[in-house]
């Protein structure tokens, strides 16, 4: 897969490039800020962009802004945002830009080749990947509008938010795939997510979790 990387930390950026190349990906561009990436992305035609959330000049949300622009101009490009801390609002904003093929991970995860490769594979397949720490904070909030979900349905939704397939959820919870499908259907029903030809209901379910 053709990948571009943007992070102002030289050490982290070089580490990302090395890990991605070890996983068999072709890193076609590496940048210290989002503007440099955006200026060259058209010519490079990457399939995935990995961006730090906070980059020069303000170190606020440059990566998020760049990610949303990339999603608008290149809808099929996968996006993986990296952050030092759990910042739910940024994850919500990225997912709210529409569709799957997006991820939000804490930087600690990139130290593991297996974790990073797994996330990239799921993003490339059109999935949505949220860091388990982000999901844990969301699940633990009070005044839960998802209170109608059963404990098992909450477990299933949490794993959905991490980008797991029904088969992977079944393996994680030691239940059958059919049982997972029933729980997923119940989640959609309770959240009022009707079958649609344009909306990805798994993404919408994760958005419901983020908008708590």
What residue segments make up the domains of the chain, in order of their start?
Answer: 2-131, 140-210
Low-confidence residues of the chain, pLDDT below 70?
Answer: 97-99, 111, 137-145, 194-200, 210-212
pLDDT score at 158: 86
- pLDDT (0 to 100) of residue 203: 75
For 29, phi then psi, to 5°, come to: -165, 140
Structure tokens at 103: 């991820």
Give the pLDDT of residue 130: 84
pLDDT at 139: 60
CATH of domain 2-131: 3.40.50.2300
Rounded Cα distance between 169 and 197, Å, is 24
CATH architecture of 140-210: Orthogonal Bundle (1.10)
Query: Model-level pTM?
Result: 0.70
Q: Is-contact 62 55, C-beta < 8 A?
A: yes
What pLDDT shows up at residue 175?
93
Instruction: Report pLDDT for 211.
Output: 64
Q: How many CB atoms lie within 10 A of CB 179?
A: 15
What is the pLDDT of the chain when averaged over all its residues? 84
């Amino acid at each position: 897969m053709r990948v571009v990387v943007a992070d102002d930390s030289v050490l982290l950026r070089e580490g990302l490039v090395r890990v991605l190349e070890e996983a068999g990906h072709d890193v076609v561009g590496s940048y210290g800020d989002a503007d440099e990436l955006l200026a060259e992305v058209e010519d490079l035609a990457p399939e995935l962009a990995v961006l730090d959330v906070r980059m020069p000049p303000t170190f606020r949300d440059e990566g998020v802004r760049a990610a949303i622009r990339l999603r608008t101009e290149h809808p099929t490009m996968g996006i993986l945002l990296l952050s030092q801390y759990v910042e739910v609002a940024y994850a919500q904003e990225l997912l709210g830009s529409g569709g799957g093929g997006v991820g939000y991970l804490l930087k600690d995860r990139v130290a593991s080749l297996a974790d990073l490769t797994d996330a990239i594979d799921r993003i490339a397949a059109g999935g949505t990947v949220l860091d388990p720490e982000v999901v844990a904070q969301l699940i633990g909030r009070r005044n839960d509008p998802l209170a109608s979900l059963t404990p098992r349905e909450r477990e299933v939704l949490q794993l959905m938010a991490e980008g797991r397939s029904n088969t992977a959820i079944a393996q994680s919870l030691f239940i059958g795939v059919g049982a997972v499908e029933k729980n997923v259907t119940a989640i959609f029903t309770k959240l009022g997510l009707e079958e649609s030809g344009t909306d990805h209901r798994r993404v919408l379910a994760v958005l419901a979790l983020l908008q708590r």
